[in-house]
Structure 1
Amino acid sequence: MTPFEELFNRHVATAFARQLALADHIGERDWQLDLTEGTATFGNDLRYQVQLLGTESELDRTWLWAWANEGSGIPPALLGLAGWLREYGVANGVPELTEASFPLDRAQGARLALIASALSGRAYYRGPYDGGAVFFHLEGLPAEIIAPARPERVFTVVGQILQGFPVDHRLMVTSFLSQQGWQVTDTPTEVTGRHPGGTDMRVTFDDLGRITNLAGSIQPG
Structure 2
Amino acid sequence: MNERILTYLNELEPPIDIQLPGKNVQWLHPYKNPETCRCTEEFYSKYYSDRTERILVLGINPGRFGSGITGVPLTDPIRLKTVCNIDSNFPLKPELSSKFIYDHFFNEYSMNEFYDKFFIGAVCPLGLESNGRNMNYYDNKILMNELLESFIPDSIEKQINLGCSRKVAICLGEGANYSILNKLNTKHQFFEKILKISHPRFIMQYKRKTINDYVKQYIDACRLAEKLVSN
Measured against the shorter chain, the TM-score band is: 0.3 to 0.5
Higher helix share: 2
Higher-Rg member (1/2): 1
Higher RCO (CA 8 Å, separation ≥ 6 residues)? 2
> What TM-score, normalized by structure 2, do the two folds share?
0.32
> What TM-score, normalized by structure 1, do the two folds share?
0.33
Higher strand share: 1
